[in-house]
Structure 1
Amino acid sequence: MNLVIIDPSKDAVTSRGVTLSDRRFIHIRDVHQVVQGDVLKVGLLNGLLGLASVEHIDEESVSLTWAELSQCSPQPLPVTVILALPRPKMLKRVLQTLASMGVKDIWLIHSYRVDKSYWSTPILNENSLYEQMLLGLEQSGDTNLPTIHIRKRFKPFVEDELPALVEGKRAYVAHPYQALPCPPSELLPTVLAVGPEGGFIPYEVEKLNAAGLSSLSLGQRILKVETAVPVLLSRLFPVI
């Protein structure tokens, strides 16, 4: 945890500081091993970053006092990521990666090769998604929470919503067959679709192409979703 994120809607925040007793406290106590007077990097969720000093710490909680809150979060990537729902264990890792890399607009969609049982995972409940986003933000030192949209039907999403998302942007679907090589990196508004393990089926690729997404290849090697996502983002954008 490189940044202690404080959520004013959930934490007991005062004008002087905040007291924590959850997993953040345990990490501060056991990993950072702070003592009274130490300084930690903190940030208000969707707000400014800065410093806070440890006023008190014991076996139950840590009290932090604001020292300075004046720094803005890193610039977000101008990208919308559309992700065919991965299996639950991978989903947690991918969501944290997206949040840590500055992605703020995430769409989880269904596709033919997504097992229907994946949609019943408790990871998709609001609190769990919130926790995965926070873990990614804490890693990268960002406070701006991504937005996650869930669409359980492929065709209505692609036909009714995707064209508006694509309009005026460069748009790609990661698909290694009959595809263009990855273009030079540019900080441009982008839509990026990544399929499930095994990829989108031909019908889905055709629908995505028809909606304005060009097929994109990283080369001959077939990567796992959790590997392909950061590779694609780092290839498409010059600044992460």
Structure 2
Amino acid sequence: MNLILLSATQQSSETTYQLNDRQVQHVENILKKQDGDSIRVGILNQGIGQGVYRRDAGSVTIHNELLSPPPVLPCTLVLALPRPNMLKRTLMNVTAMGVKEIHLIHSSKVEKSYWQSPVLQPQSLHEFLIEGLEQAKDTSLPNLHLHPRFRPFVEDTLPDLLLERTGLVAHPYQAQACPVALATPSLLAIGPEGGWNDFEVESFTQAGMTCVHLGPRILKVETAVPVLLSRLHPAL
């Protein structure tokens, strides 16, 4: 982790926070910090600063004004639920890149059993997002929404999400080249490993979205996600 990310529940005084076991182990075993050393910290949904590590207490005392986290990536991500063993990496990468609105949805090629996976428990999802923030030195927690049914999502939720956003569907067939450096906020829909089916593509396009591709190569979801995000909103 590149940032010790602290939450309000860890606050013991105005400027002091208790570290959890994982954070203490990282500070001592990875960062090799001693008592009184300075470490980079962040307060969840607030800012970033420097703190003094107190080894005996297992705490950190913040000693400077908090600075703003990195800018938000102006993209709302709609993602067909990945395989459980891929979900953690995908959410961490998306969070590290600065996406703050994530919608996991069902698709015909998503196994229904995926929705019963323990990795979808709120605590597990929260930990994935936290790890992504720690990697990117960010403090702003994304909003993560689960939609286990496709049709209600496209009929009831999608229209509001598309307001004042450029809607794009990652689809390798009958599509145009993915744009670069959009000047407007976007909504990007990325399908499962087997891609969206015809009904799903039609539902997105009828809602006003455009199909885009990355060329003739078919990429895995965990590769396509960062490539598309960095192409649409580079250097933010």
Indicate how the Cα distance of structure 1 residues 127 and 69 shifts in structure 2: closer, same or farther if over 3 A, else same: farther
Which residue is 1:233 aligned to?
229
Indicate how the Cα distance of structure 1 residues 168 and 19 shifts in structure 2: closer, same or farther if over 3 A, else same: closer
Residue identity in the other structure for 1:146: P
From 116, 122, 142, the counterpart of 1:120 = 116
Deviation at 1:187, TM superposition (A): 4.3
Mind listing any 5+ residue stretches in structure 2 that lack a counterpart? Answer: none
Which residue is 1:138 aligned to?
134
Indicate how the Cα distance of structure 1 residues 45 and 216 shifts in structure 2: closer, same or farther if over 3 A, else same: same
CA distance in 2, matches of 1:55, 1:135: 23
Residue identity in the other structure for 1:110: H
Q: What TM-score, normalized to structure 1?
A: 0.95
Which residue is 1:2 aligned to?
2
Residue identity in the other structure for 1:202: D
Confirm or deny: 8 A CA contact 2:74 2:233 kept in the other structure.
no
Confirm or deny: 8 A CA contact 1:187 1:238 kept in the other structure.
no
Mind listing any 5+ residue stretches in structure 1 that lack a counterpart? Answer: none
Deviation at 1:28, TM superposition (A): 1.2
Percent of aligned pairs with the same residue? 47
From 144, 150, 166, the counterpart of 2:146 = 150
Confirm or deny: 8 A CA contact 1:103 1:146 kept in the other structure.
yes
Deviation at 1:78, TM superposition (A): 1.1
**Aligned to 1:183, what secondary structure does the other structure show?**
coil
Cα RMSD (Å): 1.2
Q: How do 1:1-240 residues align onto structure 2 when only pairs under 5 Å count? A: 1-8=1-8, 10-57=9-56, 62-240=58-236
CA distance in 1, matches of 2:173, 2:210: 12
Confirm or deny: 8 A CA contact 2:167 2:209 kept in the other structure.
yes
Using the TM superposition, name which of 68-77 and 92-101 deviates more.
68-77
> Structure 1 stretches (4+) deviating beyond 4 angstroms?
none
Residue identity in the other structure for 2:18: T
